[in-house]
């Protein structure tokens, strides 16, 4: 079986041998001949020939092995030691068991940890989560297609896997196919080369749910777009659910055929933004709870404060801290976390705050184009963020009112005063809005 743990086993062994506190003689006696067989439900099956020493290995070295795996692979797994005779017996049992028709390799691509239960909902992903849940509960009835977009490591794949798991848990006979756009393209090329076009089409069109990750990579590939267009139409007309993810909305995918772009916009488009501080805290607390990690709150707060870009890096930071704590035999403290992450987190110098920077932060928060804020457009969804920029520019910079007005589309200084006063009054009247201003201020100042 091809799996990152198995592929990187030599590196895991090297870490145990050279950088852990395990003596050379103990490593050679107990660990050198361990062999990973497969990964099943987030558990790594490891073969050991030592029937007498198995219990000792499990008791004495399991934690070190789990830490080494986490350090090399970046994920946490359970481990189970088995003897060759037990593995052979299990294989025989599996070979005699009748496999359901829908239990093929396509479903095994799902990560068992990516479920709705383990997904942390925050302001950054509320719409995408609600839409995903609605689709899972009523495939092809709620939103079809469902198009989820956002940056790397923000949870798009987690939501897609959650939908697949939920549908299969409700009906194990459902034909659910999860695939990356790259795999779709590669399989199409292979089917053309081997003259198996019909087989390819049957695979992708004779299903109940199709989930395609990173659809942006089919842009510019004419034959792939042609095939996906017909696959989409076949499934849609048969009232089958389609879920698509991308790093950007359909209208921003260059060289995507217009007929595909319009179809991607038929259903619901939901975005996922980087998590705010509270959501980052919740993600790390959930992770600690799920994996029974004793993480002090100040350690979680340190990581959540300093790693802001995406969830993958957030969890990678925690992995590194735990591994470092184990290797140096020190308790998990904020000081240890700072030491473990010193190559990832550099102390921020006091950055110059400019109206342009404030404008970008506010535009990102309200999901509007920065150019619209400095334009003459007057709809409330643009005018109000513009007034927020005026307020924050006056409170966070030393620039004169005419200078701020000049930067914000050559506006008169009296307009800046009006915007400042309007936001000041709203802060006094509305505690939720006051909280929004505080969040924006933290994003801008980094404090």
Give residue for tokens 């150019």: 371
Coil vs helix vs strand at 255: coil
What is the enclosing helix (H) or strand (E) of 81?
Answer: strand 78-82
Question: How does DSSP assign 104-117, residue by residue?
Answer: STTGGGS-TT-SGG
CA triple 221-245-149, angle to 5 deg: 115
Cα dist from 7 to 1, 2, 39, 106, whole Å? 9, 7, 12, 20
**Inter-residue contact 127 to 270 (CB < 8 Å):** yes
Q: Is 436 annotated as a binding residue?
A: no
Whole-number Å distance between alpha carbons of 145 and 224:
19
- Nearest 5°: phi and psi at 200? -60, -45
Reading the block at residue 5, the tokens are 């743990």
**Inter-residue contact 282 to 159 (CB < 8 Å):** no
Please list, in sequence order, all residues whose beta carbon lies within 8 angstroms of the beta carbon of residue 239, skipping any fewer than 6 positions away. 140, 144
Count how many residues are written for the chain. 447
What single-letter DSSP state applies at residue 252? G
- Nearest 5°: phi and psi at 170? -80, -35
Reading the block at residue 150, the tokens are 């956002």
Q: Which of 433, 350, 424, 365 is nearest to 390 (CA)?
A: 424
Cα dist from 235 to 72, 135, 217, 229, 254, whole Å? 40, 15, 21, 10, 25
Whole-number Å distance between alpha carbons of 177 and 107:
7
Residue 335 CB coordination number (10 Å): 13
Q: Is 326 annotated as a binding residue?
A: no
Widest distance between CA atoms in the chain? 84
Q: Is 122 annotated as a binding residue?
A: no
Q: Is 156 annotated as a binding residue?
A: yes
What is the enclosing helix (H) or strand (E) of 212?
Answer: strand 209-213
What single-letter DSSP state applies at residue 40? E
Gyration radius (Cα) of the chain, Å: 26
Please list, in sequence order, all residues whose beta carbon lies within 8 angstroms of the beta carbon of residue 220, skipping any fewer than 6 positions away. 254, 255
Annotated binding-site residues read 153, 155-157
Annotated binding-site residues for ATP read 153, 155-157
């Amino acid at each position: 079986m091809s799996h990152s743990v198995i592929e990187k086993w030599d590196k895991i062994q090297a870490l145990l041998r050279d950088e852990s506190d395990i003596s050379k003689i103990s490593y050679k006696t107990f660990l050198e001949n361990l062999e990973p067989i497969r990964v099943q439900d987030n558990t790594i099956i490891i073969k050991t020939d030592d029937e007498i020493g198995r219990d000792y290995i499990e008791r004495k070295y399991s934690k070190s092995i789990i830490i080494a795996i986490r350090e090399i692979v970046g994920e946490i797994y359970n481990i189970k030691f088995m003897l060759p005779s037990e593995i052979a017996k299990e294989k025989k049992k599996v070979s005699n068991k009748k496999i359901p028709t829908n239990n093929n390799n396509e479903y095994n691509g799902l990560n068992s940890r990516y479920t709705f239960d383990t997904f942390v909902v925050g302001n950054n992903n509320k719409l995408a989560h609600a839409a995903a849940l609605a689709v899972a509960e009523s495939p092809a009835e709620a939103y079809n297609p469902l198009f989820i977009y956002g940056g790397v490591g923000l949870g798009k794949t987690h939501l897609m896997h959650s939908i697949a798991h939920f549908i299969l848990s409700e009906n194990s006979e459902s034909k659910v196919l999860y695939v990356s756009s790259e795999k779709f393209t590669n399989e199409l090329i292979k089917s053309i080369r081997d003259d198996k076009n019909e087989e390819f089409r049957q695979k992708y069109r004779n299903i109940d749910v199709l989930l395609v990750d990173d659809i942006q990579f089919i842009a510019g590939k004419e034959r792939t777009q042609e095939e996906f267009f017909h696959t989409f139409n076949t499934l849609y007309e048969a009232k089958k659910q389609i879920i698509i993810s991308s790093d950007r909305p359909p209208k921003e995918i260059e060289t995507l055929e217009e007929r595909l772009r319009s179809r991607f916009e038929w259903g619901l488009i939901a975005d996922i933004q980087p998590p705010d501080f509270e959501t980052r805290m919740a993600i790390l607390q959930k992770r600690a709870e799920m994996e029974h990690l004793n993480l002090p709150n100040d350690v979680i707060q340190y990581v959540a404060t300093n790693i802001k870009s995406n969830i993958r890096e957030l969890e990678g930071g925690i992995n590194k801290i735990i591994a470092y704590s184990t290797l140096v035999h020190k308790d998990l403290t904020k000081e240890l976390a700072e030491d473990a992450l010193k190559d990832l987190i550099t102390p921020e110098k006091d950055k110059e705050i400019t109206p342009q920077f404030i404008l970008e932060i506010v535009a990102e928060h309200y999901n509007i184009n920065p150019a619209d804020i400095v334009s003459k457009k007057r709809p409330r969804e643009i005018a109000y963020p513009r007034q927020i920029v005026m307020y924050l520019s006056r409170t966070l910079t030393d620039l004169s009112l005419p200078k701020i007005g000049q930067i914000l589309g050559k506006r008169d200084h009296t307009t800046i005063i009006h915007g400042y006063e309007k936001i000041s009054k709203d802060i006094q009247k509305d505690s939720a809005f006051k909280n929004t201003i505080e969040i924006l201020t933290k994003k801008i100042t980094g404090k």
